[in-house]
Amino acid sequence: MPTQAVDATIAECVAQAQSDSVEARTSALTTLSALTRLSSHNRDLLAHTQHALPLLLGLSHSEPTIPLALSVLLHLSLNPNLKQPLAAVPGFVPRLNSLVLSPSASTQAVKLAASLICSLAMHDKNKAPLGVAGAVRTVVEALGCFAARPHVLSSLAELVQFHGNCTLAVRAGAVPVLARIVGGPAEDLGATCVVVLARMARFEEGIQAIREVEGVVGTLVDWLRRGCMASKESAMEVLARLFEERDELMREAAGRDDFSSLLADLSIGGSTKLREKAGLLMKMMESSDLDLDWDVEGKPARGGNSMRLEDSGISNTPSMQQSFHPPQCLLMPVMVSQNVRLGPCMSGVSAHNGKEVRTAMDMIDDEGRFRSSIRSSSEVND
């Protein structure tokens, strides 16, 4: 359609949208929604039409035009150059906040309002003003709305990219809710929550709130088994921050049956970032004050991992060294630093990408106990 014809149609629809007739307003908004759905040029034309934005905002206050008005506004927000002007319209963000939290609003209206907040938040210069206008608190409170939860979480993920909004979200009580979603069955929502938690964990107030959530370490460790690659990286980041703060949280993770093997899996089979983060966690555990020895019954001798020897096929017999045939999972290499050499062990040292590695067999002493101690090169030479 030629530009002049579109201009005329838009002007006619704007005039018709001011009619007292509900049918006329609905028809005008339907046409405007169709014109702006795919055309960025048409969005610009409508946005620069006199009185168009205040009119659309006004039509978002009453049924049955609320969904249609929000739909047109959402289309306009897709243009990068219109995100700031839209956010600056007086009363626009407060109206979105009220719709998201309104118990009487339709599910469609709540989803559209949350999507609009997300779209506006994609512009970096809008993030702080949206937080000041109450959008962060709104989306945190709306996490309880199951129908709109994906849209609300997307909005929160955009908003917390500004560090000030992270603080607002933590103080609004986001952390326990996010952790609960991570522990739930919805993996797509859980992935977004883990990413948001990792963003919050970079700040002291955020990591303190995460630390106070009961069972959060177990929740994050469980996520390492089922999450997508990017969310696993975020879970590793949160775990590393938790381990920096308290040894008992590291001991809690190490006390889970398969945590060591899980880290070993991720250290060789994940993405580059995931391998780095898995290696970091393993190094933190080895360099900590925790004693990670195990007795032959698979119980931590003085705290630490609880991998059971009987689960690995190892029997506590005098002829153990002659008859020991470990399962394949025990041969998985574990990365260690380049400037460290391993002491005498049952299986020796092999090469892996130019670095020294050790296997799970290297952590078994002559009495069948797991050991995590690594001796320095000077000790070996002596």
40 exposed, middle or buried (CB, 10 Å; 0-12, 13-18, 19+)? Answer: middle
pLDDT at 378: 41
| Domain spanning 173-290: CATH 2.30.33.40 | no
Both tokens assigned to 228? 């997508």
Contacts of 5 (CB under 8 A, 6+ apart): none
Is pLDDT at 373 greater than 90 in this prediction? no
> Using an 8 Å Cβ cutoff, are 50 and 88 in contact?
no
pLDDT at 111: 96
DSSP string, 203-262: SHHHHHHHHTSTTHHHHHHHHHHHS-HHHHHHHHHHHHHHHHH-HHHHHHHHTSTTHHHH
| Range of weakest confidence among 12-26, 132-146, 262-276 | 262-276
334-335 and 350-352 as β-strands: parallel, antiparallel, unpaired? unpaired
Is pLDDT at 68 greater than 60 in this prediction? yes
User: Residue range 134-160: average pLDDT?
Assistant: 95
Side chain identity at residue 91, one-letter code: G
> Which pLDDT band holds residue 257 (cuts at 50, 70, 90)?
confident
The larger pLDDT score, comparing residue 113 to residue 304, is at 113
Is pLDDT at 298 greater than 50 in this prediction? no
User: Residue range 17-22: average pLDDT?
Assistant: 94
Segment 321-372, tens digit of pLDDT: 333 333 333 333 333 334 433 333 333 333 344 444 444 444 444 544 434 4
Tell me the angle at which helices 149-159 and 124-132 cross, rounded to the nearest 10 degrees.
Answer: 110
Contacts of 281 (CB under 8 A, 6+ apart): 236, 239, 240, 243, 263
Other Cβ atoms within 10 Å of 201 Cβ, number: 23
Is pLDDT at 169 greater than 90 in this prediction? yes
- Reported as type and span, the H/E element at residue 199 is helix 187-200
Cα of first residue to Cα of last residue in the chain, in angstroms, is 86
- Reported as type and span, the H/E element at residue 357 is strand 355-358
DSSP string, 71-111: HHHHHHHTSHHHHHHHHTSTTHHHHHHHHHH-TTS-HHHHH
pLDDT cut 70: percent of the chain above it: 75
Is pLDDT at 177 greater than 70 in this prediction? yes
Both tokens assigned to 58? 């006004």
User: Residue range 207-214: average pLDDT?
Assistant: 96
Chain centroid to Cα 223, Å, comes to: 11
Closest CA to 117 of 85, 149, 156, 79: 156
User: Residue range 49-54: average pLDDT?
Assistant: 94
pLDDT at 248: 87
